[in-house]
Amino acid sequence: MRDKNLGEIRAIIARHKLWDLIFMIVGIFALMIAVLTFMALFAHMLIDGLPRLSWDFFTSFPSRRPGSAGILSAWVGTTLVMLVTAAAAVPMGIGAGIYLEEYASKNIITEIIEINVTNLAGVPSIIYGLLALSLFVHQFGFGQSILSAGLALALLILPVVIVATREAIRAIPVVIREGAYALGATKWQTVSDHLLPYSAAGILTGVIIGLARAIGETAPIITIGALTFIAFLPPSPVKAEFPFVSFEWLMAPFTVMPIQMFNWVSRPEEAFQINAAAAGLVLVVMTLAMNAIAIYLRYRMRKNLKW
């Protein structure tokens, strides 16, 4: 009698242990699907695109002949648009983050702002494109320019920067603030001399992740009506004569990397799709490198952080 029971219990345990094992295999399998898909994507692009990557590819304009087409105007455009995006989103996002974390009192306005930031992060990117089309391109008369595109992407990544700033500032212990106040510092002195320097790495991580996202965004830029065939560069920001800098480039028409890639993908000729693979490879390496830097920074920060 006792032996029989024991045998049954052992059978039940064995069965459940088997389920455990099965699920573990299924789990690894599920994880592998995501990983393998990425490997396939990367390998496919590498095989098609790598032979196309050469110095000429980076220094030529797009062309009707796929063999001599390049991404010069695209990467210059991406760089300039990112300059505008960073210049607008970084100060604004950090300022908003500081306000919400250090200044805001608990009231209805603060709550509205907080809910808003969460909601903005969930708005599809193409809606920001529509906003930019209506507001920047037509209402403000910026046209289909680098300025419009940069501002559209800045609005898009603003929530990312705000959230990163808030998290970085929140991680600083209260004793730091109390120490500063005890020595007679004002609020702003506390923020600028203590909180900002200590949270700089965390904020930087958020900014890099935000910019990596902005580099790959295609939909909002298509929506503002960016041209896809641009065989010239925007006017140079540096001038030979006084005052040496010029902001004409802000209003110039442009193209960016993802738009150039989209343009090549949607053509039927296979030669252009090889160009698309090469452009995609550059784009993926760029965004992955930025994300990897951000992840590494965060890892270092967590390791070194001892208050």
Residues of this chain, 50-89, that bind other proteins according to CB under 8 A: none
- Is residue 237 part of the contact set for other proteins (CB under 8 A)? no
Q: Residue 183 and residue 89: Cα distance in Å, rounded?
A: 33
| Nearer CB in complex with other proteins: 223/250 | 223
- Is residue 38 part of the contact set for other proteins (CB under 8 A)? yes
Q: Which parts of 178-197 interact with other proteins (CB under 8 A)?
A: 186-188
- Is residue 225 part of the contact set for other proteins (CB under 8 A)? yes
CA nearest to 228, candidates 288, 156, 279: 279
Would you give the binding string for other proteins spanning residues 122-151, x where CB under 8 A is met? xxxxxxxxxx-xxx--x-------------
Structure tokens at 299: 């890892």
| Nearer CB in complex with other proteins: 111/248 | 111
Q: Report, in Å, the least distance between residue 45 CB and other proteins.
A: 8
Q: Report, in Å, the least distance between residue 162 CB and other proteins.
A: 7
Residue indicated by tokens 């809606």: 127
Decide if 188 contacts 101 (C-beta within 8 A).
no
Residue 171 makes CB contacts below 8 A (sequence gap 6+) with 199, 202, 305
| Bridge partner list, 34 | none
Q: Residue 195 and residue 36: Cα distance in Å, rounded?
A: 42
Site for other proteins (CB under 8 A): how many residues? 89
By CB atoms closer than 10 A (0-12, 13-18, 19+), residue 222 is middle
- Is residue 209 part of the contact set for other proteins (CB under 8 A)? yes
Q: Report the residue from 77, 159, 206, 234 that binds other proteins according to the rule CB under 8 A.
A: 159
Q: Report the residue from 288, 300, 302, 305 that binds other proteins according to the rule CB under 8 A.
A: 288
Q: Report the residue from 53, 83, 265, 301 that binds other proteins according to the rule CB under 8 A.
A: 265
Q: Is the dihedral of CA 67, 268, 255, 41 positive or negative?
A: negative
Q: Report the residue from 6, 7, 11, 41 that binds other proteins according to the rule CB under 8 A.
A: 41
